[in-house]
Amino acid sequence: MTTPLTLTPEQPLVPGWATGTITLGCDYNPEQWDESVWHDDIALMRELGVDLVAINIFGWAQLQPQPGPFDFSRLDRILSMLHEAGIRVNLGTGTSSPPPWLARVHPETLPQFANGTLAWPGGRQAWCPSSVVFRQKAIELVTAMAERYGNHPAVAVWHVSNELGCHNALCYCDASARAFRTWLRARYGTLDALNSAWGTAFWSQRYGTWDDVLPPRATRSAGNPAQLLDFKRFSSDELLDYYRAEAAVLREHSSVPVTTNLMVTAHIQTLDYFSWAPELDFIANDHYLDHRLADPLAELAFSADLTRGLAAGQPWMVMETSTSAVSWQPVNHAKREGELLRTVLGHVARGADSICFFQWRASRSGAEKFHSALLPHSGTAGQGWAQSVELSSVLDRLNPVVGSRVHARAALVFSWEAWWAAEGDSHPSSLLRYLPEAHRYHRALRALGITVDMVAPGTDLTSYDLVVVPTLYTVTDAASVAIADAAAAGATVLITPFTGIVDERDTVIAGGYPGAFRELLGLTIDEFRPLAAEATVSLSSGAHGSIWTDAVRVTDAEIVASYSDGPAAASPAITRRPVGSGTAWYVSTVLDDDSLLRLARDLAADAGVPIVEVGYDVDVVTRQTDTHHITFIINHRSEPIAVPYAGLDLVSGETVTDATPLPAGAVRVVISERSDRGA
Ligand code: GAL
């Protein structure tokens, strides 16, 4: 028996699409299989406890193999079969990839690269987000789908398109150029305002007519950075507008929640999901371990925290992940023993209440035939299926977690706009990368057992004790005020290199860097002094840095450490300024891992945030209800660890004490009554 939980009225037990249990789901592509296989599939789904199945994600070509009427007969049948089996459907609108005939009949729907070449059909998402013809054809399909299935009892979720912008977010064709101009007119009103915002007095770029304004197509020299930044904004908005068009049709015909699967991940940066999030009835993310990164597990934690940020703390769904290897990385690593459970719980710990996989049955042909699946090529006889069964049974035991929330005392200000702008051309150093900086601060806090909320610039930060602002190169006034307010209200705020340098037009805030935070930090940077690729610098505190240094002039701050060598020798490197009841820290270099961890400890101490020294390969995250704490401890290490959490372990069903070691590779989900109730 698990301890009963009580939830406060503000914490509805489950959002509309969920059932009060942890949902186990998957993508299913019945169009790849003969109908005789469907019966086996559905029987095995029931055996495994799958209760949400995404279908029709890539169904368009089967529904409409030629221009003309749709044939829904197979889709009707699979929907009925799933419904009869008691399996809910996450119904794809099917518009993600058009059938081959669309490119033949309407070649103008194909997307164009920056150098003018076309992306051809044969892969997926070969469509221009600004194509009027594509949208018309897609909306015809969505309307037919919504009319037919809007009230179908099996349909629990509408799944708009698929991973919008995964391959086609940036299109440079003439239709995109026209749409870009319309977007710019709405943003700037006049051509003069555009010329001013883009700084076109530079390099003879001044526009005399709107018709000359183009997407940032391939150039021989560096392009205009403000134009590039606006094109990224436009491209995100354009696909969001497309999502809205599909969602509007679905909402007109159906009361079922509408969402789409986001890609909060290291290798896709094209959509500003903070602007998308309010349009989704609930947040769903696709996440795959990325073995091209130095620490894929740290990135998983980052992605999950950021997804919770998009969900504004509400429960969210992993709409796709893999049981083992993917098929799109240079080397596709299989998951090690226990890794499936560990990675899944990494998401659940951070607020996911639904775990769905790509995909149900491994494809036998096509580009993803070596991608893992709940039901692998080896069928039910192999180890893969056994792991799926084990996972399902652990998820069943975690049902008491559903509806509980993650509470974090630390926040990291994350911004897609800053990411786009910070990584533009012609900066002091191309070695300073936005996302790795954000990852590294998050990773250091995770290694200290500190849970981090990821928030958009401009969010009210006054309830946090610790606020980290990595490389927020471009800032609005609202964002800089919110950060300063957090410090004044008592938070420890850390600002890192190349933050607060330009406004939202990518125009330098004059008067000494960082223009937006000079006063808050009590310092001025006269000059950036970046380092060569392999160079490092030493700090008086014993810390080490690389990539970046600044010539810092302190006006009103304590010097925590100075540069002992390098191009900024003798300049302050780390500073701290008491502000109101809080503090504002600046670090002007990219600290190595050990130095960063030491700084994170100092910041936590300054902020009064408790730490648990778990290291980089252990996750400790607590979800809570009004009455209980539920702490996830995930040991990615190949040795046992000691963890100070006592209570009932939902995974093993045993009561554990502070002294019960957690074996190598094992997970524990400890539920205990809150000692701080009423606090
Ligand atoms: C996602 C996509 C799925 C499948 C999966 C493979 O990007 O939505 O359709 O391709 O990756 O990992």
Which domain-ending residue is among 403, 424, 440?
403
- 233 domain-assigned: no
pLDDT digit string, tens, across residues 426-470: 999 999 999 999 999 999 999 999 999 999 999 999 999 999 999
Asked if 426 and 395 sit in the same domain, the reply is no
CA 437/CA 498 separation, integer angstroms: 11
The tokens describing 71, both together, are: 């044939």
pLDDT band at 375; cut points 50, 70, 90:
very high
Mark whether 386 and 511 lie in a shared domain. no
* Closest CA relative to residue 184, chosen from 221, 216, 222: 216
pLDDT of residue 478: 97
Residue 23: is its pLDDT beyond 90?
yes
- Across the range 59-71, mean pLDDT stands at 97
What does the pLDDT read at residue 677? 63
The answer to whether residues 540 and 507 belong to one domain is yes
Which residue has the CA at smallest separation from atom 3 of ligand 1?
358
Q: Residue 18 — very low, low, confident or very high, per pLDDT cuts 50/70/90?
A: low
Does the structure show a pLDDT above 70 at 14? Answer: no
Residue 616 lies in a domain: no
Does the structure show a pLDDT above 70 at 291? yes
Atom of ligand 1 nearest to the CA of 261: 8
Final residue before a domain boundary, out of 607, 642, 661: 607
**Digit-coded pLDDT (tens) for 611-667:** 999 999 999 999 999 999 999 999 999 999 998 999 999 999 999 999 899 999 999
First-residue to last-residue Cα distance in the chain: 28
Q: Output the CA 326–ligand 1 centroid distance in Å.
A: 9
Q: Answer whether residue 620 is part of any domain.
A: no
Q: Which atom, in ligand 1's list, is nearest to the CA of 263?
A: 7
DSSP label at 212?
G
Q: Is the CB of 290 under 6 A from ligand 1?
A: no
Cβ neighbours of 116 (radius 10 Å): 10
pLDDT above 70 covers a percentage of the chain that reads 97
Residue 15 has pLDDT above 50, yes or no: no
My answer on whether 420 and 551 are in the same domain is: yes
The pLDDT of residue 266? 85
Residue 375 DSSP class: B
Q: Is the pLDDT of residue 341 over 80?
A: yes
Cβ(357) to ligand 1 under 6 A? no
Do 458 and 540 have their domain in common? yes
Query: Domain end: 607, 626, 654, which one?
Result: 607
CB of 288 sitting under 6 A from ligand 1? yes
Q: Is 58 in the pocket of ligand 1 (CB under 6 A)?
A: no
Question: pLDDT category, 20, cuts 50, 70, 90?
Answer: confident
Q: Is 284 in the pocket of ligand 1 (CB under 6 A)?
A: no
Burial class (CB in 10 A: 0-12, 13-18, 19+), 136: exposed
Is 134 part of a structural domain of the chain? yes
Strand partners, 23: 354
Structure tokens belonging to residue 574: 């780390």
Question: Is residue 279 flagged as an active site residue?
Answer: no
Closest ligand 1 atom, residue 322 Cα: 12
pLDDT in tens, 517-550: 999 999 999 999 999 999 999 999 999 999 999 9
Instruction: Select from 286, 288, 323, 333 the residue to mutate for testing ligand 1; criterion: most ligand atoms less than 8 Å from CB.
Output: 286
337 counts as catalytic: no
The pLDDT of residue 1: 31
Q: How much is the average pLDDT of 289-307? A: 97
pLDDT exceeds 60 at position 5? no
The tokens describing 9, both together, are 């009225």
> What per-residue confidence (pLDDT) applies to 138?
98
Which residue in the list 320, 339, 437, 504 is annotated as catalytic? 320
Question: What is the CATH classification number for the domain harbouring 319?
Answer: 3.20.20.80
**Are 446 and 373 part of one and the same domain?**
no
Residue 7's pLDDT is 35
Residue 474: half-sphere exposure toward Cβ, Cα within 13 Å: 19
Q: Determine which residue's CA is closest to atom 4 belonging to ligand 1.
A: 358
**Contacts by residues 150-154 (CB-CB < 8 Å, ≥ 24 positions apart):** 150/250, 150/253, 150/254, 150/256, 151/253, 151/254, 152/79, 152/83, 152/89, 152/91, 153/83, 154/79, 154/80, 154/82, 154/83, 154/87, 154/88, 154/89
Region label for 158, one of left (φ > 0), alpha (ψ between -120 and 50) or beta (otherwise): beta
- Residue 546, domain extent: 410-607
The verdict on 397 and 448 lying in the same domain is no
Our answer on whether the CB atom of 372 is closer than 6 Å to any ligand 1 atom is no
Q: Could you read off the pLDDT of 596-625 as tens digits, one per residue? A: 999 999 999 999 999 999 999 999 999 999
**168-221 confidence digits (pLDDT tens):** 999 999 999 999 999 999 999 999 999 999 999 999 999 999 999 999 999 999
**What pLDDT digit, counting tens, does each position of 88-102 carry?**
999 999 999 999 999
Could you give phi then psi for residue 596, rounded to 5 degrees?
-65, -40
Find where tokens 């186990």 sit. Answer: 24
Domain co-membership, 398 together with 428? no
452, 374: one domain: no
Looking at residue 424, its pLDDT comes to 87
Is 193 a domain residue? Answer: no
Residues 482 and 385 in one domain: no
CATH number of the domain to which 480 belongs: 3.40.50.880
- Strands 405-406 and 572-579 come out as unpaired
Helix, strand, coil percentages (3-state) for the chain, rounded to 5, are 35, 20, 50
Ligand 1 center–CA 71 separation, angstroms: 25
Residue 370 CA to ligand 1 centre (angstroms): 12
pLDDT at 8: 37
| Count of domains forming the chain | 2
Long-range contacts of 659-666 (CB under 8 A, 24+ apart): 662/633, 662/635, 663/635, 664/635, 664/637, 664/638, 664/639, 664/640, 665/336, 665/337, 665/338, 665/339, 665/342, 665/635, 665/636, 665/637, 665/638, 666/338, 666/635
Residue whose pair of structure tokens reads 């993917």 in the numeric block: 326
State how far the Cα of 175 lies from the Cα of 112, in Å rounded to an integer: 10
Establish whether residue 241 lines the binding site of ligand 1, counting it when its CB lies within 6 angstroms of any ligand atom: no
Assess if residue 128 is contained within a domain: yes
Q: Using one digit for the tens of pLDDT, what is the confidence trace for 210-242?
A: 999 999 999 999 999 999 999 999 999 999 999
φ, ψ at 296 (rounded to 5°):
-60, -30
* Residue 228, domain member (yes or no): no
Question: CA 679, CA 675: separation in Å to the nearest integer?
Answer: 9
Which pLDDT does position 267 carry in this prediction?
85
Amino acid code (one letter) for 459:
T
pLDDT band at 374 (very low <50, low <70, confident <90, very high): very high
DSSP state of 277: G
Distance of CA 162 from the midpoint of ligand 1 (Å): 9
Average of per-residue pLDDT across 490-503: 98
User: Do β-strands 628-635 and 667-673 pair in parallel, antiparallel, or remain unpaired?
Assistant: antiparallel
Whether 68 and 152 map to the same domain: the answer is yes
DSSP assignment, residue 350? T
Tell me, yes or no, whether 56 lies in a domain. Answer: yes
By CB atoms closer than 10 A (0-12, 13-18, 19+), residue 473 is buried
Say whether both 379 and 277 belong to one domain. yes
What pLDDT, on the 0 to 100 scale, is given for residue 404? 94
Question: Considering the entire predicted model, what is its pTM?
Answer: 0.96
Q: Which token pair is 663?
A: 């074996």
Distance 298 CA to ligand 1 centre (A): 21
Q: Given a cut of 90, is residue 161 above it in pLDDT?
A: yes
